[in-house]
């Protein structure tokens, strides 16, 4: 199977997936990085790993439809089977999601459905919850919604700062996301009544 990772920033989860493939934990081709930011650290990671980069800057296109059409062309050219969102800071249109329904994964730094949005770690920390976590889910037409695949709790200790919490969260993300990708590629995920069933051997 061929994977495309979408990223806009440092690409640490992208790096985690690269490492999982190199170690044999994930058996697939990481064929493409789709990026909307020419300064993203993810691009350097892709080049070092020999992964093709499709740079699509939103401002170059007259509208979102044209922007996504260009991305779709890249996906079709590279025969992509699975899209992995890893800090891609663009909302995908309902039409795009519908086209790839059930084949787009996202990771969110909170225990969904709590603390949706771009500041999941900060929002949980400032709200004062004692437990937050990481969620991997299928993408649907709503923001940070979709059937949940895996979740892992992270305790917020009394002496945690936002920075220390972020570090703990990223460590969990880098383990959980490759695991979810592996389950998908092994055909062990099935969506029933908007819930994900995991097939165990």
**Residues labelled as active-site residues:** 108
The two tokens of residue 189 are 């995920």
DSSP conformation letters of 124-168: HHHHT-SEEEEEEEE--SSTT-S-EEEEEEEE--TT--HHHHHHH
In angstroms, the CA 50 to CA 36 distance is: 19
Helix (H) / strand (E) element for 7: namely: strand 2-7
The two tokens of residue 16 are 């985690």
DSSP conformation letters of 10-64: --HHHHHHHHHHHTTSS-SEEEEEEES-TT-HHHHHHHHHT-EEEE--GGGSSSH
Helix (H) / strand (E) element for 68: namely: helix 64-77
Closest CA to 107 of 3, 6, 177, 194: 177
Q: Residue with structure tokens 């806009």?
A: 8
């Amino acid at each position: 199977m061929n994977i495309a990772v979408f990223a806009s920033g440092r690409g640490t989860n992208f790096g985690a997936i690269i490492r999982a493939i190199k170690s044999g934990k994930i058996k697939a081709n990481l064929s493409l990085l789709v990026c909307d930011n020419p300064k993203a650290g993810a691009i350097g990671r892709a080049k070092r790993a020999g992964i093709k980069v499709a740079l699509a800057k939103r401002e170059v296109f007259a509208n979102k439809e044209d922007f996504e059409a260009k991305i779709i062309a890249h996906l079709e050219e590279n025969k992509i089977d699975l899209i992995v969102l890893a800090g891609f800071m663009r909302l995908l249109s309902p039409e795009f999601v519908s086209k790839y329904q059930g084949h787009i994964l996202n990771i969110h730094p909170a225990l969904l459905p709590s603390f949706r949005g771009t500041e999941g770690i900060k929002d949980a920390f400032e709200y004062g919850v004692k437990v937050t976590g990481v969620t991997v889910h299928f993408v649907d037409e709503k923001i940070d919604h979709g059937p949940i695949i895996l979740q892992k709790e992270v305790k917020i200790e009394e002496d945690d700062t936002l920075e220390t919490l972020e570090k703990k969260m990223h460590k969990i993300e880098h383990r959980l996301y490759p695991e979810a990708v592996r389950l998908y590629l092994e055909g062990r995920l099935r969506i029933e009544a908007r819930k994900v069933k995991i097939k165990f051997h």
